[in-house]
Structure 1
Amino acid sequence: MREVWRELAGLVLPVDCAGCGRPRTELCARCGRALARDGRGARRVRPWPAPAGLPRVWAGAPYADEVRAVLLAHKERGALPLTGPLGAVLAGAVRGLRVGGGPLLLVPVPSARRSVAGRGHDPVRRIARAAAGELRRTGTAARVLAVLRQRRAVADQAGLSAPQRRANVAGALEVPGVARRLLVGPPAVLVDDLVTTGATLAEAARALAAAGGRVVGAAVVAASVGAFAADEAPLRALPRGR
């Protein structure tokens, strides 16, 4: 019955697959399988050059092909049914950190208020909640703790070089005093949808550590193909058609 209603909804409110454009489905079976495969293939990534203070980072997939299209559809077009699949990929990256069996705090990198207002939702926080649910479902105690705040406005990072990005976000994040006590205890994992130069994650790690948080790593849905390499080999783009 659920599939019948999905088909009827597709006739009234047509949508296309975020990955390949197939009509009347938010995510077709083929693209869903590709996304799931990437979630199981999480690997450690690193920028070059790495910004000072960057924790170890695990990514669920390269930022290419279906993964790029799905992330953009969720982030910019508000395709909220994609939250679950993206959360599963992020959960795979969190597992890659191998931080033990105890409870975890997933701390999302905050979006600018104007971006949240324009999109009507906070995509990173939404994906983080889905990842926490997936982790709990598979036996890892995890909860989202959205304590990071922007203390000043930053420019759009698109088009900036790595040094410019570091300067742009330096000192831009903080944990308000009243929220600092929430960081006591479990280890914190920074989470974001995409990492390019690592500047934002390094700033987020600095802000959490300054507030007394114990940052054990960062996990992202995807890593930029051009800017990142894994510890031992380049992180390559997915072949077309996967």
Structure 2
Amino acid sequence: MGFATALLDLLLPQLCAGCGRPPALLCGSCAGLLTALPRPAWPDPVPTGLPRPWTATTYEGPIRSIIAAHKESGRTSLARPLGEALGRTVQTVLFQHGGQHGATVVPVPSGRAAVRRRGHDPTWRMTEAAVAGLWTAGMPVNGLQALRQRRRVADQAGLTVGRRAANLAGALEVPPALDVTGRRVVLVDDVITTGSTLAEAARALRAAGAEVIAAATVAATPRRRPAVKHGARR
């Protein structure tokens, strides 16, 4: 599916993945949403063990459509602009930590079934694009698929914060044959919602001896505060 969709993406006139207008992969307006200044993206509440999270933009409107088009519709050409946004976020993280060279960028792993269904691994594609951009910018970092799922997890959609954490507890691991001891790691993913996935990924890496300095994502789910009832004390 991924190859066929990518081929059609090359042969047919393109519509913007964000707003659906022709004639480009991303129109100028939607592409501009990916160039915002990276910012901290703490969820509320903060799950135990979550490394400091940074993000490039907000997961709403056209950004939701762009990420879905890359992840679920096989528009693999979007890996480059999404990877560039992710790379700028990783670069911000590294500047916050003294501009460390030689850091390792580790993506949250996709499940095997999801990779088969999608025909590609979208997070790894973005990671590769981000790492390539960082090398071009003079920041030699390494991309490494250092994590794998050790058991199946349920679909996270619709789960509460607590159930997400329980669903993911102990779900990831570093393969025993891979030595990450002493590596300084930036965790990456496409979206941060509750932070449970990144917290579990960080736990697995720390258990294997890595130092997780921060997390970076393309987008962060907006924090929704409950409405204040009329007449309620503020």
TM-score (norm 1): 0.84
The residue number in structure 1 matching 2:88 is: 92
Q: Distance in 2 between matches of 1:78 and 1:10?
A: 9
Where structure 1 has 5 or more consecutive residues not aligned to the other structure, the ranges are 1-8, 229-242
Offset of residue 185 of structure 1? 4.3
Q: Distance in 1 between matches of 2:11 and 2:57?
A: 33
Does structure 1 conserve the Cα–Cα contact (< 8 Å) formed by 2:39 and 2:54?
Answer: yes
Q: Distance in 1 between matches of 2:64 and 2:48?
A: 27
Please tell me the residue identity of whatever aligns with 1:95: Q
Q: Distance in 1 between matches of 2:125 and 2:220?
A: 19
The residue number in structure 2 matching 1:104 is: 103
Offset of residue 66 of structure 1? 2.1
Q: Distance in 2 between matches of 1:227 and 1:175?
A: 34
Corresponding residue SS for 2:32: helix
Q: 1:226 aligns with which of 216, 223, 227?
A: 223
Does structure 2 conserve the Cα–Cα contact (< 8 Å) formed by 1:31 and 1:66?
Answer: yes
Q: Distance in 1 between matches of 2:202 and 2:181?
A: 15
Does structure 2 conserve the Cα–Cα contact (< 8 Å) formed by 1:10 and 1:25?
Answer: no
Corresponding residue SS for 1:25: coil
Aligned 1:116-131 pairs, distance under 5 A: 116-131=115-130
Q: Distance in 1 between matches of 2:9 and 2:119?
A: 22
Corresponding residue SS for 1:18: coil
Offset of residue 227 of structure 1? 5.5
Aligned 1:22-37 pairs, distance under 5 A: 22-36=21-35
Corresponding residue SS for 1:55: coil
Offset of residue 82 of structure 1? 0.9
User: How many matched pairs?
Assistant: 215
Corresponding residue SS for 1:47: coil
The alignment yields a C-alpha RMSD, in angstroms, of 1.8
Q: 1:59 aligns with which of 52, 55, 58?
A: 55
Corresponding residue SS for 2:218: strand
Please tell me the residue identity of whatever aligns with 1:208: L
Q: Distance in 2 between matches of 1:153 and 1:101?
A: 35
Does structure 1 conserve the Cα–Cα contact (< 8 Å) formed by 2:44 and 2:223?
Answer: no
Please tell me the residue identity of whatever aligns with 1:110: P
The residue number in structure 1 matching 2:163 is: 164
Does structure 2 conserve the Cα–Cα contact (< 8 Å) formed by 1:11 and 1:24?
Answer: no
Q: Distance in 1 between matches of 2:172 and 2:100?
A: 29
1:131-151 per-residue CA deviation (whole Å, 9 max, x = no partner) reads 111111111111111010100
Q: Distance in 1 between matches of 2:217 and 2:25?
A: 22
1:16-64 per-residue CA deviation (whole Å, 9 max, x = no partner) reads 110110134221233223322x2xx100111111111111000111101
Offset of residue 192 of structure 1? 0.3
Q: Distance in 1 between matches of 2:135 and 2:220?
A: 24
Q: Quickly say closer, same or farther: Cα 1:188–1:22, change in 2 above 3 A.
A: same
The residue number in structure 2 matching 1:184 is: 181
Please tell me the residue identity of whatever aligns with 2:80: G
Q: Distance in 2 between matches of 1:106 and 1:184?
A: 14
Identity %: 48
Where structure 2 has 5 or more consecutive residues not aligned to the other structure, the ranges are 1-7, 226-234
1:18 has 2:17 as partner:
yes
